[in-house]
Amino acid sequence: MKYFFLSKSKLRFISIAFSSFAVLTLWFNHAHAVVPDEPHTLESLKGKIPKLPDLKNIVVDRNAAIALGKMFFWDQQSGSNGQACASCHFAGGADTRIKNQYSPGLLDLRFPGGDLEFGGLTSVPDDTTNLNDLSPSSTAHQTAGRSLAGPNYLAKPEDFPFHQLADPLDRDSVIMYTTNDVFGSQGVRASTFVDLQTVVLPGITDAFNEVCTPELDAAFLFHRMVTPRNVPTVINAIFNYRSFWDGRANNTFNGFDPFGNRSLAAFVLRKSRNEPGVKAVKLRLPDASLASQAVGPPLSSVEMTCAGKTFPKLGRKLLSRQPLALQIVHSNDSVLGPLLNADGTISGTYSQKIRVAFHPKWWSASGKFTRENGTINADPNGFTQEEINFSMFWGIAIMLYESTLVSDDSPFDNGQLTATEQRGQDIFIGKGKCINCHSGAFFTKSNEGRVERMLMSEGNTRPAIYDNAFYNIGVVPTVNDLGVGGNDPFGNPLSFTRQFLGKKKTDKYGSDPCQFEVLILAEDPCNQENQQVALKTLKKGKERQAVNGTFKTPTLRNIGLTPPYFHTGGYATLESVIDFYNRGGNRRGHIQPSDRHDTTGTAMLGKGDPVAKQRRGSNLDPDITPLNLTDAEKKDLVAFLKSLTDERVACDRAPFDHPSLKVFHGTDEFTQIDLIFTLPATGGTDGLQSCRPNSGNLFQEAAALPPDQGLPEGMFTPIMQNLSF
């Protein structure tokens, strides 16, 4: 059935068409052979070498590039409003703040431009089919804990999970609360980039600072805006084939943006041999999804910057700056320690660091240039080669730094499981079926094959092709967020499946139909001609696709340190996550003849409008079924998951040590000034005085964060909001 949301001013269609699944029986002209899966295994991460691109003739000093990447990642001079990459990845590589982390349903397809109102639906009768059955008093912009939802809200334990049932073990029981809100990560205040200008301020010695015009955001007002998805950890992310929840950070790095070969105008400048000029060349580095990922946030007007800033402008701002000039670097920092002066500062500028790490042909050309419609023109008012190529330096350096963030020293890796943890591992592999998606050394399939074909959820007898390691597990209705079912900015599908089935193929990847779990023609060997003919027929739109609402399977390593969970961030504890899986997810399992919706699918072939009323083939992963775990088994499983934590990550010890970081966590309601705590610098074996608790509980992890230091002075106050550092 459908549910509607009544706000104070208007009727809002908010969703939860979890109920109703029409069982469809499909008949075929041939049988479907299921190829037995190779046994899934769990492995230690010890000795696993991340696959990286060939950087010959690009990077000349790898250690210098790693150091540069660490400086870029942690430096609060890089973003606007004091924002760094690390501002959202400071706790186990993720974010455990609890104030100003709510985001409304910005990716919900039912609202042009996204849902800008906070809150959810409370006390929904299970048989509600008409919006007139709901009264305004039943909604009122509330959290699950019945507090007023909105920006700058301080979350409470009772606000989780975001989908609450009368019986947490029965997905078909009465819905007590549900929402399309997300628990994300706060970034910058809304503003528009004006330009760079010379400004002299204490502690700033460079020539350029950015000037931005403050704006009032429709959803977040004057507060820092919040991302529309939960923040995944950067630790071990080097093993991902694609990055971001929706896989939009391409495996191929083009030196310019996250979209690889899709971005036809992407190029970098290479100095011409024996000539003073430059040449525009296309950079295509495979196995570099973290470089693609790294160049996304710096230009995001939600995450890190004033709207409208470009990478050449960011380069001009940073190149003459002293790295980490506003932060403390520990004398024993495993990467930066050897670079410190006696006074604890790092000598030189970012430009000098780039010139040590990268080949001169990428930065040494004289003159200034502009890039327009894929061409380069000499222009005295343009940018230097070093400024134009700054996105390439940024992406590659951060990728190389993050390639060092491999956590391979957990109790699991060392063979030191307790009896409880061992029982939990047995459940993980067996009754819990967790290993079907979380396997190998990385505890995910996101580094495996690209396209797969298998049967989907119960009631489906027709196979579907999907992007391997991207699954719809029924956390929220597909219409809330398409995930890998969405498109890139150029209108191309993010999904490999849709490219495989006849859409324009923009990505280079290999797929072998002979390795599909369900073969196309069971009776024929894969090398016979008619097998290929059958494949071509399927590519003409006759094959079902399970793409919409699917998201990349995250690693489970260090999961005790990285709540909240799922792409929505709507689950604060590991226990609530296991309850979710134990009941078979949130998709309503029973059939409602009055409504043909299955909220995990998008029409019979997986195509069409996910908002429209239509018969839908389910995209739900077939392993999402009730598990019937006992309380003791659930406790054992939680214990095993916590055994995947590397103590070095919990304690911020090398290679997970870092400079100090001022972390923003909401604003003071009276002064509208950022509230700040400072994460202390750590170095080598000198980690945090108190390690994070590895609790698998958002509120226990948040309680372990440094105390608030009171209202700040200077550069982060509203007085200085037009000057973004």
Decide if pLDDT at 380 tops 60: yes
Between these two residues, 458 and 12, which has the higher pLDDT value?
458
**Rounded distance between C-alpha atoms, residue 359 and residue 364, angstroms:** 9
**Residue 389 exposure: Cα atoms within 13 Å on the Cβ side:** 29
Q: What is the pLDDT of residues 152-171, one digit of tens each?
A: 999 999 999 999 999 999 98
What sign for the dihedral angle of Cα 148, 151, 157, 162? Answer: positive
**Tokens matching residue 404:** 């060092």
Q: Where are the domains of the chain?
A: 62-99+187-214+244-407+648-681+690-724
Q: What is the pLDDT of residues 243-280, one digit of tens each?
A: 999 999 999 999 999 999 999 989 999 998 877 789 99
Burial of 28: CB neighbours in 10 Å, binned 0-12, 13-18, 19+:
exposed
Quote the distance between the C-alpha of residue 205 and its chain's center.
Answer: 35
Identify whether the C-beta of residue 180 lies closer than 8 Å to the C-beta of residue 117: no
**Tokens matching residue 402:** 């993050």
Going through 596-717 in order, the beta strands assigned E by DSSP cover: 661-667, 674-679
Q: What is the pLDDT of residues 325-370, one digit of tens each?
A: 999 999 999 999 999 999 999 999 999 999 999 999 999 999 999 9
The residues, any chain, with a CB within 8 Å of residue 631's CB and separated by 6 or more, are none
Between these two residues, 3 and 116, which has the higher pLDDT value?
116
**Rounded distance between C-alpha atoms, residue 314 and residue 79, angstroms:** 8
Between these two residues, 429 and 453, which has the higher pLDDT value?
429
Identify whether the C-beta of residue 706 lies closer than 8 Å to the C-beta of residue 690: no
Decide if pLDDT at 401 tops 60: yes
Decide if pLDDT at 108 tops 80: yes
Cα angle vertex 14, ends 669, 24, to 5°? 150
Residue 514 confidence class, pLDDT cut points 50, 70, 90: confident
Burial of 8: CB neighbours in 10 Å, binned 0-12, 13-18, 19+:
exposed
pTM: 0.90
Residue that is written with structure tokens 């139909």 in the block: 513
**Tokens matching residue 16:** 């939860």
Residue 449 confidence class, pLDDT cut points 50, 70, 90: low
Other CB atoms within 10 A of residue 506 CB: 20
Question: In whole angstroms, how far apart are CA 171 and each of 523, 551, 569, 593, 720?
Answer: 39, 21, 19, 18, 50
Which phi-psi region, left, alpha or beta, contains residue 114 (left: φ > 0; alpha: ψ -120 to 50)?
A: left
Q: Which residues pair with 201 in a beta bridge?
A: 204
**Rounded distance between C-alpha atoms, residue 570 and residue 180, angstroms:** 10
Q: What is the pLDDT of residues 709-718, one digit of tens each?
A: 866 554 444 4
**Rounded distance between C-alpha atoms, residue 625 and residue 17, angstroms:** 18
Q: What is the pLDDT of residues 293-309, one digit of tens each?
A: 999 999 999 999 999 99
Provide the greatest CA pair distance for the chain. 77
At 24 the pLDDT is 27
At 507 the pLDDT is 85
**Tokens matching residue 175:** 């819905």
**Rounded distance between C-alpha atoms, residue 171 and residue 126, angstroms:** 11
Q: Taking residues 102-125, what's their average pLDDT?
A: 87
